[in-house]
Amino acid sequence: MNVSLPENYVWPHKHLIGLEDLSADDIRFVMQTASGFASMSTRSVKKVPALRGKVVVNLFFESSTRTKSSFYLAASRLSADTLDFTSTGSSVSKGETVRDTAMNIEAMGVDIIVCRHMESGVPRMLSQAVDCSVVNAGDGQHEHPTQALLDIYTMGTELGRSDFDFSGLNVGIAGDIAHSRVARSLLIGLKKLGANVLLIGPPTIVPRTFEAMGCEVHHDFDAILERLDVANMLRVQFERITSQAFPSVREYSALYGLSPERLAIMKKNVLIMHPGPINRGLEVASEVADGPNSVILKQVTNGLAVRMAVLFLVHGAQYLDAN
């Protein structure tokens, strides 16, 4: 890793709510810290005492496979005590508010709350209500910061961009951009690192308004296949699309799915990414998802090191501000 940071750089954030709050230096510092934890994962003893005696709570109000397990393992590897809270079967069903739930859990002596919620803004609200650190594990259509950080880590390490200066890199994000917290966090982070971001999909879910954020908007995937260094294929979020965004799943797949034929036209070393969970045969063909250009499972592996870095930094930060 070849990250260059100002000599007097200090991580300033008590919470991680979104990449909108991070500077390019902050993102690069997370990458550098994650790199240290990634090399530790190859040792026979994978635990470090960095958060020994601390308590990390997973406060998830929405389903998750990757993020929840990854935060749980990350906290365990840092030697923290962990508590998994799920809203099903809790007093939320009796009408308790999210704020009261979080404040009651914090009262048991919690140091970090990791929160996923279907409503945008809940982690930010909690960060203002509790004294401990809050990490956003995905809120509504707002942000999914650790997914973006692990995606950036994967791009930097796989493409040999170890300084995490992404100038000149063409990163395509295809799919349901309008409803995607993954896309929002990622494009914010990539723009801060200097990448050229190409958003791809039908006008109903990839509106031209994203051009105001400095992104290219493309409705014809085939026209830009040869330009891409990375193709990040987002899941079509049937649960968030309220109106008919495209005529049929078959048409979406024909126009925007990553097929072996499309992959054959792309750069030989193009990285194929997907945040998961995959709708196989819709956004990406199985042969492509499981093929040599795919780094989909490496994203998951890298997520552990990135989340260790985030937990370590937010808790140990010498906070300069209240973000």
When the beta carbons of 32 and 120 are compared against ligand CP, the nearer one is: 120
Contact between 67 and ligand CP per CB under 6 A: yes
Q: Which CB sits closer to ligand CP, 147 or 157?
A: 147
Residues 270, 227: contact at Cβ < 8 Å? no
Cβ 275 to ligand CP shortest distance, Å: 4
Contact assessment for residue 50 and residue 79, using Cβ atoms and an 8 Å cutoff: yes
- Name the nearest CA neighbour of 64 among 142, 126, 17, 118: 118
Q: Which residues of 111-124 are buried (b: 16+ CB within 10 A; e: fewer)?
A: bbbbbbbeeeebbb
**Nearer Cβ to ligand CP, position 237 or 323?**
237
136 touching ligand CP, by CB under 6 A: no
Residue range at the interface with ligand CP (CB under 6 A); choices 37-45, 64-72, 252-260, 262-270: 64-72
**Which one, 59 or 266, has the nearer CB to ligand CP?**
59
Regarding 175 and contact with ligand CP (CB under 6 A), the answer is no
| 219 near ligand CP, judged by CB under 6 A | no
Site for ligand CP (CB under 6 A): which residue of 1, 32, 48, 64?
Answer: 64
Print the binding letters for residues 275-294 with ligand CP: x by CB under 6 A, - otherwise. Answer: xxx-----------------
The beta strands (E) that lie in the chain are given as 55-60, 81-86, 112-117, 133-139, 170-174, 196-200, 216-218, 230-233, 271-273
Q: Classify burial at 264, counting beta carbons within 10 Å of its beta carbon; exposed 0-12, middle 13-18, buried 19 or more.
A: exposed
What is the x/- site pattern for ligand CP, positions 8-47, by CB under 6 A?
----------------------------------------
**65 near ligand CP, rule: CB under 6 A:** yes
162 touches 3 (CB < 8 A): yes
Question: Which residues make up the interface to ligand CP (CB under 6 A)?
Answer: 64-67, 138, 147, 275-277
